[in-house]
Structure formats: structure tokens, C-alpha cells
Amino acid sequence: MKKNSKKLDLVKVIGGGLSLVGFILLVIGAFLTRNAKIILDVIGYCLFIAGGSIFTFRTKEHTLAKMILFFIIAAIMLTWVLPYGYFDGIDFYDYGLLRIGLADVGLVLHSTLNWILEEVVFLFVVAAFYGVMSQTNGYKKLVHTLAKKFKKHTLIVALCISFIITVLTSLFTDTFAMFIIVPFFVAILLAMNVDKLTTFAVTFGSMLIGVLGGTYGTTALINFNSRFNLTSSTFGIEYRLIILLVAFFLFNFFTCMRLKKVVKDKNEEEKENLALAVSETREKTNMIPAIVVMSLVFIITILGFINWQANFGIEVFDKLHESIYSASIKDVPIMQYILGSTTTSSSGSTTEAVAFGYFLLRTVEIVLILASALMALLYRLKLNEVLSSAYEGAKKMFKPVLYYFGASVAFLVVASSPFTFTLTNWLLNAVDGFNPYLTTFTTAITSIFHLDAGFTSYGIGSFLTAAYNNDFNLVHTIYLSISNLVHVIAPTSIFMVIGLSLMNVDYKSWFKYIWLFILGMLVILLVLFTVL
């Protein structure tokens, strides 16, 4: 034990030393001329982030929370030594240092809450919905009946679940919508006595793979494309399909290896301590209402968050919406009154009651609320039971939301003083023409702070299209794939931190599980970038 303790302390000292050296180089770089400054600042930035991450990773408890806190502090410190700027085509305008001070931190906190408010409300509604569902005997029976039938075929079931989640994630226009579907599969796997790390990998991990190889959807792809005025998600889709297939098979290779080794001896007490676990009921009950309600919720979610018209040319849902929404009785637009009013603004008239394919998170929230009410009526839950179970469910989402908030704070600090754009300018202009390896490196070290791919394209999009017009298809692929690969493991990855917290999985365990996949995918992507 003493030997291990010393070994861990040595690693922490090395990490802390690297971080200190990195920051010293950044400070020295501030007094040097351009070329020397660029070299020292890039090296210093990498050492500072890598060393600090190693030091924090080696701490004993609350590793993920400490990692997030480190990135918040690191982002603030970096605004004091790295200048910020913006691209305008191939030109870059350096505005110098924009230091984030104590008063600015308060502004960042409020801005962060405002920025993520819609997603936070949605997550609490989802948690409340599953809180009510978990209180009904029908849902309990449904989960455990499926678990008993699937238990003899754990490997096949895990692969099927991973495939479903990966495909849906890659198609959904808003990745957060997957939080409606994923908890159901989590509950089934836990009821099958699959350990929580493997369950996380099969479910939330598959979400990350779906984002990595986003085909027609994902929030990352849509936000990234919006800055380039790419209204269709088909741009570069052949590359993303290759990446999706390779990532899926490689990821599930490790899943299969773990499932063959894992000891499935988790007791009932451990399962009950997990937020998404469902206790088994011994009461005789009819699970058909639960099947119908869950099926309706899933079908509406899938239809609502896949853009059928833009991606597949399917207009039936648009026409159906138009006919329903325009329906009236004696010239009274009754359906408009029921579904939702029309709002007129400078950009035109809009309605919250949108057609399938154009759902927002707030659109589906009412579906979850109505489904909760319907389940309560069908299974004769008292109002106090409904409110109590909804509260208990929502309460379990508090810690994940707190982690999400922390990761977003680090991003908002960088968004307020975007020194990552300066790093991009230095590195991509270090050589003449397009270099896929340098672009890969640049994307990797800057995207760790960029939670929103739309922010990346907002800051450097004009440069990428102007400087690399002939190679833009490949540049587009590199930026999306590498940034999404980074967010499979980075402690600032919002979907990862929410999932880890919900599943009570230690960040170290996930890191040790996934690092070989990250390394393998990086090698494969570099080969792909070389031959394209």
C-alpha cells in the first residue's frame, strides 16, 4: 500500500510540475516576439492542460467534479496569458488580452445558466417522468419481464441496444432528446444484472459514438453546419458513415470483451442506489398500459426529432401538420387554440406546435407531462404519490445538471475571451496550405473547451472556407470527428458527465475503459485523413 501511495504521489508531482512549467512558459511567452511567443505559448498551453489533468485525475474522490473545476480555473487563468481574436476570411484580428476577473466570473455564471436553461428544464422533466414511471407497477413489471427474457442473451441484447442508440443519436436533430429513450434501456440492463460501467458504455457510451459518427443529425453537426449555411446534413455524409461504422464496431469490440469478463453479481441494494434502476414488483398487474404509453412516447420522440423533409424528402408530416393546424369549426381555428398559438416576430410567424421533424426540447416536454399523468390515472396513483415520485425523480438529476453547468461554465469563459481562436490562427498558419495532421492536432487541443460545435464554426468558419476551399470536405470531417472523439473522454463533455453522474460511474473507470478505443480511433482517423 505504501509503495502504491508513493507511486501515485509521484505521478501527481509530475503532473503538477508539468502544469506549473506550462504556465511559466505561457507567462514568458507574453514578453517574446511573435515566432518565439507562438512556440512557447502552444507548448505551454499543452503542458498546462495535460499536467493539470494528470494531477487532478490522480486525486482520490470526486474526480470528475475536480476535473471540471480544474478546467474552469484553467480557462480563467489562460485568459490572462493568451490573447483572443476573430477571423474574417483569411485575416485574423488579434485584440490582445481579455482577462476574466472576479466580477466577470459572476457574469459568466449567470450567462451560463441562461445559455443552458432550456436543456436543464428538459432534463428535470425527463427525470420527473421516469420518477413517475418507476412508481407504477406496470413499468416495473415491463422492465423486469424484458430483463428476464433477455438475460440469457446478454451479449446480443447489449449489441442491439447499442445499435439502436447509436443510430438514433446520429439521426436526432437534438442529441438531448436521447435522454428520453436511454433511461429505459439502462433500467433493463441493470435489471439483467449488467454492471453499471458496462451499462453506461452500452447506453450513454453509444450516444457518444452516435455523435462521433453523426449522419443526418446530432446537435454538433447541425450547429456546425449552420455557420456554413449548409441547410442539408448530406454534406460529407459518406465520410461520416464510414466513421460511424468503424467507431461502432471498434467500440462494441471492447464492450463484448468486457461482457465476457465481467462478474454479474450485483446485489439489489447496489441497484437501488442507482438513479435509473427500477425495483421489481411482486404484485399482479397489467403491463399493457405501460407498453402503450412508453411506445407512444418513443414513437413521438423519434418522429419529432428526425428531420424527415430535409434529409429524406418525406413531406407527409408537414402536410399532415398543415391540414390539422388549419382545421376549424365555423371559422374558429379550434386546433390552433388546442395545440398552441402563433407568435409573430420580425422573422415571421412561428408556432410551438410544429410538425414531426422540427421538434424542440420544449415541444416534447408536454408529451412527457401528459404521459406521466396518463400513467398515474391508469395505475391509480394518488396525486401525492405522483408529486412525490416526480420530485424524487427530478432530485436525482440535480448532480448531473450541476456537472453540466460546470462544464458549460468552462466553455462560457472561453467564449467570453476566445483564446482558442488565437491558437488556431497560430497553428494553421504555421505551414503553407492544408495539413490534415496539423489540423487534427489543432482541433484536438482547442475543442476540449468547445462544448458547442457551432461556436467553433462561428469563430473559424470563415477562415476554413476561405483558406481550404478545395479541401473543405475533408476539413469539415476532421473538425467534426476529432472534436467529437475528444468529447468521448474529455471531462468537459456534457453528455458524458451527465451520464457518468446519473450512473454513479467513476470518471477514472470510464477513462481506463475507453482510452484504447480513443487511441485506436485516432489512428484510424489519421489513416482516413491521409487517403482522402
**Contact partners, residue 2, CB within 8 Å, separation at least 6:** none
Q: How confident is the model at residue 508 (pLDDT cuts 50, 70, 90)?
A: very high
**Residue 331: pLDDT above 90?**
no
**Residue 3: pLDDT above 70?**
no
Longest dimension (CA), the chain: 84
- One-letter amino acid at 49 equals I
pLDDT at site 34: 77
Q: How does pLDDT run across 106-147, given as a tens digit for each residue? A: 999 999 999 999 999 999 999 999 999 999 999 999 999 999
Q: How does pLDDT run across 252-283, given as a tens digit for each residue? A: 999 999 988 775 544 444 555 677 888 888 88
- One-letter amino acid at 498 equals I
d(CA 272, CA 293): 24
d(CA 116, CA 136): 31
**Residue 296: pLDDT above 90?**
yes
Q: How does pLDDT run across 78-87, given as a tens digit for each residue? A: 999 999 999 9
The DSSP secondary structure of 142-182, one letter per residue, reads HHHHHHHHHGGGHHHHHHHHHHHHHHHHHH-SSGGGGGGTH
- One-letter amino acid at 2 equals K
**Contact partners, residue 308, CB within 8 Å, separation at least 6:** 314, 315, 316, 317, 356, 357
Q: How confident is the model at residue 340 (pLDDT cuts 50, 70, 90)?
A: confident
Q: How does pLDDT run across 433-463, given as a tens digit for each residue? A: 899 999 999 999 999 998 877 888 888 988 9
The DSSP secondary structure of 228-269, one letter per residue, reads TT--STTTTHHHHHHHHHHHHHHHHHHHHHHHHH------HH
Q: How confident is the model at residue 344 (pLDDT cuts 50, 70, 90)?
A: very low
Question: Considering only 216-220, 301-305, 403-407, 508-512, which range has the smallest mean pLDDT?
Answer: 216-220
pLDDT at site 388: 94
DSSP at 271: H
8 A C-beta contact, residue 157 and residue 192: yes
Backbone angles phi, psi at 349, to 5 degrees: -95, 135
**Residue 334: pLDDT above 80?**
no
8 A C-beta contact, residue 420 and residue 449: yes
pLDDT at site 280: 84
8 A C-beta contact, residue 241 and residue 528: no
Average pLDDT of the chain is 88
pLDDT at site 348: 47
d(CA 101, CA 504): 34
**Residue 511: pLDDT above 50?**
yes
pLDDT at site 98: 92
**Residue 315: pLDDT above 80?**
yes
CA 478 to chain centre: 18
Radius of gyration of the chain (CA): 24
Residue with cell 398559438: 341
Nearest to 171 by CA among 248, 228, 241, 250: 241
pLDDT at site 241: 92
Q: How does pLDDT run across 8-36, given as a tens digit for each residue? A: 568 888 989 999 999 999 999 888 887 88
Q: How does pLDDT run across 146-158, given as a tens digit for each residue? A: 999 998 899 999 9
Question: Considering only 69-83, 161-175, 315-329, which range has the smallest mean pLDDT?
Answer: 315-329
**Residue 238: pLDDT above 50?**
yes
